Structure formats: structure tokens, C-alpha cells
Amino acid sequence: MTKICFHPFRNLARGVVFLGFFAVASCNVFASDAGVFQGILQSGSYNDESFGFIKIALTSSGKFSMRFNLGVNKVGIHSYAMTGTYDTNGHYHFEGPVVRDTRYAIARIIDLQLDSPTSPHAITGFVTDGTHTSTVELERLATFSASSPAPEQGRYTFLCSDPTLPYPYHGSGFGTVALKNNGRIVVRGRAPDGRIFSQSTSLTENGRWPLFAKMAGATNGILSGWLAFRKTVESDFSGPLVWLGQERPGPNNAFVNAHVSTNLSVAGARYTPPPRQPLFQTSATTNDIHLSLSEGGLANTIERNLTLTETRRLIFNPKNIGDALSVKSATGLFTGKFLHPAGYMIPFRGAILQKQNRGGGQFVERTGEGGVVALTPE
């Protein structure tokens, strides 16, 4: 017998409760493995109003509580809190009232499916307002304890770039990842154009983690995608991200992204600070580090030779006016500056990837053009 189920749906941003009625095959309670799931919402239209982060807590009776957001703009952002119950097939469907203002993505219809009603490890589905549609993907979070901590726990550095992007977005993004023994992950970094981002999330049973990060500022774009801990010769975690650049005024009083990257390639590696492991593996004793600064409005690449001392200082040889470079050995991040040929100083920054025995980073010229920084041992 088909029952009519009733569920409230609250838009936290607007304080509105959508009261939706819908028919499902059954509202019977079923036995399920309780757990917490995290994931992301993404859109193939690459409209940042259709991207977001989602978390679902599932009980053994099939009931759930959910929070998610759509959009990152002050005007378009919508944050939702919701409760409901999956049917005996592990399916949930919600329909709210017709959305009349479709300038921004609004969750009018939500459709979710457990991969297994009794022992779910993933949740998929979609959210749509009839105009914008976002796919939903979540994975069950892994459970760790003091006696059984996350095997990947530790500190990491990472680099990310997309060489297919048009100039001036050629710099290398970078940052740090801290994975705690309970599976909690803290990410701090910069996009290839220098914009800051951060996120806290958790590791899933599949050794993956959903990254959804808003750039600093209201309209500075987002990073979104799944990264996975998989050891290779070159990295310990990797994956592609969607990078939507900062928004700019477009037609019809809308905002459009300055650029879209669907394959921002991320490579991260465990970072072990000295003296347990050297910053770089070098074969020379002097002039053993090469610094290269290119693009970013430079007519010619700037090349410098440095010597890495036993105290982890980097000495320029020769040192030109304005040259500076230092490494924070505890984190693997470096900062420096150089004298632009036009006569003014430009700072640069980046991270060391020990597994690849190199460092990468970026500088941003006064005009906003991004440049590439490379540190390579000799």
C-alpha cells in the first residue's frame, strides 16, 4: 500500500520552510548500518551556484539528517537543513513548490539513493530547481580510534596546476594538508592565482576526501572535487579538481567566471621535516639549488643559483639586489622576493614536494598576471 509522506525542508539562508508532499512506495522502517556520509554537489554547467558541500547522518532505522549548501555568493548562497526517511529500497525523494526565481540554484527537488539499503557505503542522486541541476555524491566516513588510527595520519604538502588554462593563470597552487589520527583533515592553500582557501573535512572508507573550498572573498571562485590517498612513485594523494575562477560582471546583470578549469591536477606527498629528512636530495655541495621565475609578465625567465647550507639556509650565488628566499622547515613552505626588471619588488611563495624532490609555487604581478616559481636541486 502506498503511503503519503510529509517532510519539512528548511532553507537556512532565507528562513523558509518548504512543506512538500510526495508519494513513495513505502514508509516502512528498515534495518540499516548507521553512519555519517560527506560529499559534494557539482554541476556540469560550471555555474558556481550549483556547487556545494553536503553531510548526511544516517540512523539504523533509515532516518537521516542532512545539511548542504548551494552557491558561494552572498546573494546566491542557499544553506539547507533537512530530515527524512529512506524507503525500503534505500531511496528518498522530495519535491517542494515550484521555483519562480531561477537566477540561482534552489533545491526544489531532491533525489537520493543508498548504494545498499541495509549496508550503505555511498549515496548518489541529484538536486534541481528545474533549471539548474547538481549531481550529488557522498561516501561513508571511515572510523578510527586511538588503538586503530588512520594509517595515513601525518603532514603533507601539495602542488596543483592546469597547464591548459589560458594566460595569466599558469602559476602553481600549493598548500599543506594535516591528517589527524581520527581521520580529520585540515587543508590550507592557495589557488594558482594566489587566492587563499581552507577546508576541514574527513577521510572516507575509500581513502578519499571531498574538497569544497571557497576562495577568500565573496566572488573569488571555488575549488571542488575528490582527492584520494593512493601511494605512487610521485605522490601520496592526488586527484583532479574543478576550479572556477573569480566572478566578473556579465550580461543581464549576472556574474560569470573569469575562467573554468575542469582538470586542476593535484599531487600531494608526505612531508618529513629536517633533520629526519632533508629538504632536497642534492648531488652537489655548492650551487645545488636552482630557482626559476617565469611568465607573469616577465619578458625573460629569471634564473638564480643557490646553496642549501647544513642549517637549511638558502644562499644566493651571486646575490642580486632584492633577492630573498627562505623555507619554513616545519611545514615545507617557502617565501621569497625578487626585483622586477621594471624596478619594483615582487613576493613569491610555494611548497616543497619531497617525493618529487622539487618545489613549486607562484608570484602575482601588479597587473594580476600569475607567474611560475620552480625550485629544482642540482
Q: Quick check: 43 pLDDT over 80?
A: yes
Sign of CA dihedral 157, 163, 164, 170: positive
Q: Residue 258 has what pLDDT? A: 67
Report pLDDT digits (tens) over 345-356: 999 999 999 999
* pLDDT score of 75: 52
Q: Is residue 23 very low, low, confident or very high in pLDDT (cuts 50, 70, 90)?
A: very low
What's the average model confidence in pLDDT over 351-378?
Answer: 92
pLDDT digits (tens, 9 = 90+) for 295-312: 888 999 999 999 999 888
Read off the pLDDT of residues 124-133 as tens digits, 9 standing for 90 and up: 999 998 888 9
| Average confidence (pLDDT) over 94-106 | 79
For 192, the grid coordinates are 594558482
At 37, the pLDDT band (50, 70, 90 cuts) reads: very high
Q: What pLDDT shows up at residue 30?
A: 60
Question: pLDDT at position 14, please?
Answer: 45
Average pLDDT in the chain: 86
Per-residue pLDDT reduced to its tens digit, 209-253: 999 998 865 557 889 999 999 999 999 999 999 998 876 655 544
Between 66-80, 125-139, 311-325, 336-350, the lowest mean confidence (pLDDT) is in 66-80
Nearby residues of 328 by Cβ (< 8 Å), 6 or more positions away: 334, 335
3-state percent breakdown (helix, strand, coil) of the chain, nearest 5? 0, 55, 45
Q: For residue 176, what are the CA distances in angstroms to 182, 189, 215?
A: 18, 6, 16
pLDDT above 80: residue 170: no
Cis peptide before 168 (omega within 30 of 0): yes
What is the mean pLDDT of the segment spanning 256-263? 76
pLDDT for residue 168: 67
In this prediction, residue 280 has a pLDDT band, given cuts at 50, 70 and 90, of very high
The mean pLDDT of 196-207, rounded to a whole number, is: 95
Q: What is the pLDDT of residue 5?
A: 43
Report the first-to-last Cα separation within the chain, whole angstroms. Answer: 75
